[in-house]
Amino acid sequence: QKEVEQNSGPLSVPEGAIASLNCTYSDRGSQSFFWYRQYSGKSPELIMSIYSNGDKEDGRFTAQLNKASQYVSLLIRDSQPSDSATYLCAVNTDKLIFGTGTRLQVFP
């Protein structure tokens, strides 16, 4: 079983819709959770971090963490074509473990 799992996508949503990206992890001791955005051929860019159960909002982005169910999600409200990218989930075990990413496509 992979330590951090994401659906590879692509997830296609229309402009203005809510995009929902999900990630599950295997280590119950994980303490920190991150979402990175990566445009094609570019480096990962940190967009959200979350450390406790519940929701954390930052602009159009909301990260949700449920440690009991071992999943973390990222919601992008009012999706824009510029949000089209691959989103990487990263989870702290004794080191940072990355998922393989979900490709998001926002069409006009």
Contact set with another protein (CB under 8 A): 8, 31-32, 34, 41-46, 49, 88, 90, 92-96, 98-101
CB of 78 to another protein, least distance (A): 25
Beta carbons of 11 and 104 less than 8 angstroms apart: yes
Taking residue 49's Cβ as centre, other Cβ atoms within 10 Å add up to 15
* 53/100 with CB nearer another protein: 100
Beta carbon nearer to another protein, 79 or 101: 101
**For another protein, the closer CB: 17 or 97:** 97
Q: How far is the CB of 54 from another protein (least distance, A)?
A: 19
- The least CB distance from residue 59 to another protein, in Å, is 18
Contact 86, 104 (CB under 8 A): yes
The CA-atom distances, in angstroms, between 94 and each of 28, 31, 66, 91, 101 are 12, 9, 19, 9, 20
